[in-house]
Amino acid sequence: MIRLLIVDDSPLMRRLLVGIFAMEDFVVETARDGIEAIEKLHQFRPDVVTLDINMPVLDGLACLDRIMLERPCPVVMVSSLTEEGAAETLDALAMGAVDFVPKPRGPLSLAIDQIAPLLLDRVRAASTAKLSQTRRLAERVRLRASGMPAVSRRPNIAAISPMRSQPLPAGDRLVLVGSSTGGPAALETVLTALPGDFPWPIVIAQHMPESFTGPLARRLNGLCALEIEEVSRPVTLSPGHAYIGRGDADLIVTRWAGELRAMAAPKDPARPWHPSTDRLVETAMANVSPDRLVGVLMTGMGNDGAETLTRLHHLGGVTIAEAEESAVVWGMPGSLVRMGGAGRVVPLSYIATELKIMARTE
């Protein structure tokens, strides 16, 4: 049984969420605000916490900060689909939350069924997620030694001016990246470690709702030397750039007048995840020789990208799977490894190093 703590200030939302999980393999406890959540964190000792962001007394981000310091465990944020909600959710993921689910639109009692399957999948996956044992370790040690309450902390985002580059010459390399659960933090780890003059464009399919990919791109653009943008219109692929697919569409690679471009395309209903990594890789292979492609599959539920990257591997492309030891959820990269399509299996912190070594030896 999975021990689940539901934290939400709305009595109706708590009741509806309990109704979803009570019929499954869960033992459920609830808290009406962040203060009560911290008390039950130690008394109930949950395997997973679902956490609302907007709460009185101690809001979701401050509560998450305390959880990560006092008793780290997987947290799934329940967030609104607004621009502000997306920014706060990305803050939460940077602070250690493993995933999020969007709040349903419309009357809760009618709309809750829309997110029930997604919520069950995300919380079950979170119950098996691995948290970094060294994350904020020094702060945790000081907290336990002092007995003082933790202080709420949001990530400090320093703006770094991106470097401008020229369009990609025909026949040069592309890096294709697929990620899902745990992906925003994984992308930050990889992209911040790459220089602004990295010679190969990076095209990214990160599973996310429509309102989240733009804020994610802007956030990463402020952290990285690379220039990072959401693909909301056809864009020519250039070195020194990374391109994130829009959340309500698939991301495809095309060729126009000899130039490689990325563009948003309507979601393929035959594919369960979007933007689809499989579709990104398929379209890239249709326009670039497979031996000029580098495919990277990182943390995430499911198997999106595993089949096409296995094909890419057998056609001479380079494929990298994130190692199980570092992946929050080893679903996508694990599927690639099991299919025999992973040319290299490396921890998250070494993926950028692998890419830089390949670029220097090109």
Which residues make Cβ contacts (< 8 Å) with residue 12, sequence separation at least 6?
Answer: 108, 109
Closest CA to 13 of 60, 65, 51, 67: 51
**Given this model, what pLDDT does residue 114 score?**
81
Asked if residue 228 lies in contact with residue 220, where contact means CB atoms within 8 angstroms, the answer is: yes
Average pLDDT, the chain: 89
Does 327 have pLDDT greater than 80?
yes
Q: Which domains does the chain have, with CATH numbers?
A: 2-146 (3.40.50.2300), 174-361 (3.40.50.180)
Does 155 have pLDDT greater than 70?
no
For residue 161, name the pLDDT band (cuts at 50, 70, 90). Answer: very low
Residue 79 CB coordination number (10 Å):
27
**What is d(CA 166, CA 141) in angstroms, rounded to the nearest whole number?**
48
**Given this model, what pLDDT does residue 138 score?**
52
**Given this model, what pLDDT does residue 45 score?**
97
pTM of the model: 0.87
Q: What is the 3-state secondary structure (H, E, C) of 260-306?
A: EEEEEECCCCCCCCCCCHHHHHHHHHHHCCHHHEEEEECCECCCCCH
Percent of the chain exceeding pLDDT 90 equals 77
For residue 144, name the pLDDT band (cuts at 50, 70, 90). Answer: low
Give the amino acid at 20. Answer: I
Peptide bond into 275 cis (omega under 30): yes
Higher local confidence (pLDDT), 107 or 322: 322
Tokens 């994350």 — which residue? Answer: 135
Does 149 have pLDDT greater than 50?
no
Point out the residues that are catalytic: 180, 207, 304
As a whole number, mean pLDDT of residues 235-255 equals: 96
122-134 pLDDT, tens per residue?
999 999 998 876 5
